[in-house]
């Protein structure tokens, strides 16, 4: 508000850059570096504003930019990362709910984060490619490019399958949360590794220690879905009386992850917020526990732990299927002696005085078998998308799609979806050497 323009735009040129201008900019930066972008145009003899120069440099002239057609691998990477990180246009706070845990993200990572995993591509280029190619392709496949979920999910009925699908959605969101949290953690660790010591001393994070800095990658355990980690006993932090302090323990950050998963846009604050986590009372009696990862929120109301009123309002908001993608825990409460969760999937009550461990999660959420989680997830997505009851929706989708690039029948959509989600989970679970650049 009232912000002065980046430069005096009077008399400055706009529009496409000429080769002469490019040459001037290139020559100047090669000789002097860009320094202050605002001051650069005058020094370089350009009738442009500094911002325009910076964009031209970062998006076009920079020598380390790879131009030309995106490879299949790059396309896959973009889609997968977009599925996991999203872009900032998704202002709907990403919430992750697994039985007993609810996470809210103030914002998601965006194109810049994705761009860091495609080293020679610019965020602008990736963004444009997404908007003009990939998004349309997903739409043709019947996949919502925002949620990366089959569009006919909404048509699922309230039977066991929808419950399974909801369970899987929990898991998918949980994994998204994990990846984002790790990205944030990685960056923060790098920037402020020393300041973590005290925090880490009281947390059971598998985090880089000062003696094993991230520059010396630690060989960590094979990456896997954190849901599986939970079941496999990673979560061991006790839940304190009346408050929850253990959420961070769910994030097992290996050196390898920390080394590779780096997002320049993550403002982190992850550990701090892990420590903030507390039960937030509503109306003094019934309480909702909110776990929140906070990034560099663009809106003040989105950042930080919500106050009670906000919590309640947002809670209602998220309970509204029109705003959230998933079934919600509308009646989750923390009482003095227990924490209860109610969803369409299950009712679950955990005593407050017990250690909230992987075992307790396992015993209380046993309808999801960790052993075949990924397989189940993919298969259910497959069965959902291919369910005969859904043929109307799917068929409509395809029919409307018209020339839909060969994806006009249910079985092909099934296969597309299966492959799609398999690829995402393969990325997470079995990173290939080519994937290693990303994570």
Partner DNA sequence: AACCGTAACAACCGCCGCCCA
Partner DNA sequence: TTGGGCGGCGGTTGTTACGGT
Provide, rounded to whole angstroms, the least separation between the CB of residue 120 and DNA: 13
Question: What are the beta bridge partners of residue 347?
Answer: 342
Distance in Å from the first CA to the final CA of the chain: 38
Provide, rounded to whole angstroms, the least separation between the CB of residue 398 and DNA: 17
Q: Cβ closer to DNA: 56 or 325? A: 56
By CB under 7 A, is residue 32 in contact with DNA? no
Helix (H) or strand (E) holding 160: helix 160-191
Residue choice 4, 211, 285, 400 for contact with DNA (CB under 7 A): 4
Binding mask 268-307 for DNA (x = CB under 7 A): ----------------------------xxxx---x----
**Angle at the Cα of 183 from the Cα atoms of 148 and 270, rounded to 5 degrees:** 110
Provide, rounded to whole angstroms, the least separation between the CB of residue 46 and DNA: 11
CA nearest 147: which of 163, 161, 135? Answer: 135
Please tell me the distance from the alpha carbon of residue 175 to that of residue 374, in angstroms, as a whole number.
11
Q: Cβ closer to DNA: 111 or 205? A: 111
Query: How many whole angstroms from its chain centre is CA 99?
Result: 19
- Three-state SS for 276? helix
Residues 6+ apart with CB under 8 A from 372: none
Provide, rounded to whole angstroms, the least separation between the CB of residue 3 and DNA: 6
By CB under 7 A, is residue 15 in contact with DNA? yes
DSSP secondary-structure letter at 281? E
Count of residues that interact with DNA, criterion CB under 7 A: 54
By CB under 7 A, is residue 10 in contact with DNA? no
Structural contact between residues 273 and 105, judged by C-beta atoms closer than 8 angstroms: no
* Phi and psi angles of residue 281, each rounded to the nearest 5 degrees, phi first: -75, 145
Provide, rounded to whole angstroms, the least separation between the CB of residue 368 and DNA: 32
Give 428-432's long-range contacts (Cβ < 8 A, gap of 24+).
428/175, 428/179, 428/223, 428/224, 428/225, 429/222, 429/223, 429/224, 429/225, 429/374, 431/223
By CB under 7 A, is residue 246 in contact with DNA? no
Residue choice 26, 37, 144, 422 for contact with DNA (CB under 7 A): 37
Q: Cβ closer to DNA: 107 or 182? A: 107
Q: Cβ closer to DNA: 16 or 160? A: 16
For the CA atoms of 412, 416, 418, 422, the dihedral, rounded to the nearest 10 degrees, stands at 160
Please tell me the distance from the alpha carbon of residue 46 to that of residue 350, in angstroms, as a whole number.
66
Tokens 């291919």 correspond to 386
Q: Cβ closer to DNA: 9 or 216? A: 9
Structural contact between residues 199 and 271, judged by C-beta atoms closer than 8 angstroms: yes
Please tell me the distance from the alpha carbon of residue 56 to that of residue 392, in angstroms, as a whole number.
48
Provide, rounded to whole angstroms, the least separation between the CB of residue 191 and DNA: 8
Binding mask 45-84 for DNA (x = CB under 7 A): ---x-xxx-xxx-xxx------x-x---------------
Please tell me the distance from the alpha carbon of residue 383 to that of residue 381, in angstroms, as a whole number.
5
Provide, rounded to whole angstroms, the least separation between the CB of residue 57 and DNA: 9
By CB under 7 A, is residue 160 in contact with DNA? no
Residue choice 14, 31, 222, 388 for contact with DNA (CB under 7 A): 14
Provide, rounded to whole angstroms, the least separation between the CB of residue 41 and DNA: 11
Provide, rounded to whole angstroms, the least separation between the CB of residue 152 and DNA: 23
C-alpha distances in Å from residue 271, one per residue of 96, 110, 326 = 18, 21, 27
Provide, rounded to whole angstroms, the least separation between the CB of residue 111 and DNA: 3
Provide, rounded to whole angstroms, the least separation between the CB of residue 78 and DNA: 12
Query: Per CB under 7 A, which of residues 412..431 are in contact with DNA?
Result: none
Q: Cβ closer to DNA: 38 or 276? A: 38
Please tell me the distance from the alpha carbon of residue 361 to that of residue 228, in angstroms, as a whole number.
11
Query: Per CB under 7 A, which of residues 82..141 are in contact with DNA?
Result: 87-90, 109-113, 123-125, 127-129, 131-133, 136
Please tell me the distance from the alpha carbon of residue 403 to that of residue 363, in angstroms, as a whole number.
49
| Among the residue ranges 32-40, 233-241, 246-254, 274-282, the one whose residues contact DNA (CB under 7 A) | 32-40
Contact residues: DNA, CB under 7 A: 2-4, 6, 9, 13-17, 35-39, 48, 50-52, 54-56, 58-60, 67, 69, 87-90, 109-113, 123-125, 127-129, 131-133, 136, 264-265, 267, 296-299, 303
């Amino acid at each position: 508000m009232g912000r002065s323009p980046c430069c005096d735009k009077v008399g400055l040129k706009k529009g496409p850059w000429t080769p002469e201008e490019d040459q001037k900019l290139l020559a100047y930066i090669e000789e002097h570096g860009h320094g202050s972008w605002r001051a650069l145009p005058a020094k370089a003899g350009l009738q442009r504003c500094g911002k325009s120069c910076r964009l031209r440099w970062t998006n076009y002239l920079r020598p380390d930019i790879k131009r030309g057609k995106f490879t299949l691998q790059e396309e896959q990477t973009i889609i997968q990362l977009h599925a996991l990180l999203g872009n900032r246009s998704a202002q709907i706070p990403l919430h992750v709910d697994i039985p007993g845990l609810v996470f809210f993200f103030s914002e998601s990572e965006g194109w810049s984060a994705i761009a860091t995993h495609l080293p020679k591509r610019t965020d602008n280029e990736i963004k444009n490619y997404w908007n003009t190619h990939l998004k349309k392709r997903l739409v043709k496949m019947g996949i919502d490019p925002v949620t990366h979920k089959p569009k006919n999910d909404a048509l699922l009925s309230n039977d066991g399958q929808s419950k399974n699908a909801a369970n899987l959605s929990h898991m998918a969101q949980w994994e998204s949360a994990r990846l984002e949290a790790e990205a944030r953690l990685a960056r923060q660790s790098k920037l402020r590794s020393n300041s973590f010591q005290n925090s880490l001393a009281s947390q059971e994070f598998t985090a880089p220690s000062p003696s094993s800095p991230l520059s010396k990658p630690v060989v960590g355990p094979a990456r896997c879905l954190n849901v599986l980690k939970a079941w496999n006993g990673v979560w061991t932090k006790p839940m304190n009386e009346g408050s929850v302090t253990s959420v961070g323990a769910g994030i097992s950050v290996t050196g390898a992850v920390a080394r590779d998963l780096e997002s320049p846009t993550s403002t982190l604050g992850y550990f701090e917020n892990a420590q903030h986590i507390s039960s937030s009372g509503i109306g003094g009696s019934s309480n909702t526990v909110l776990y929140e990862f906070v990034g560099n929120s663009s809106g003040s109301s989105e950042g930080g732990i919500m106050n009670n009123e906000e919590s309640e309002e947002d809670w209602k908001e998220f309970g509204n299927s029109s705003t959230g993608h998933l079934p919600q825990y509308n009646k989750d409460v923390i009482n003095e002696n227990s924490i209860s969760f109610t969803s369409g999937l299950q009712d679950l009550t955990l005593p407050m005085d017990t250690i909230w461990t992987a075992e307790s999660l396992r015993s209380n959420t046993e309808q999801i078998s960790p052993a075949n989680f990924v397989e189940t997830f993919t298969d259910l997505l497959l069965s959902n998308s291919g369910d005969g009851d859904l043929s109307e929706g799917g068929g409509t989708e395809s029919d409307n799609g018209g020339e839909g690039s060969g994806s006009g029948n249910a079985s092909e959509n099934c296969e597309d979806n299966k492959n799609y989600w398999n690829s995402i989970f393969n990325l997470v679970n079995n990173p290939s050497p080519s994937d290693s650049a990303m994570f």
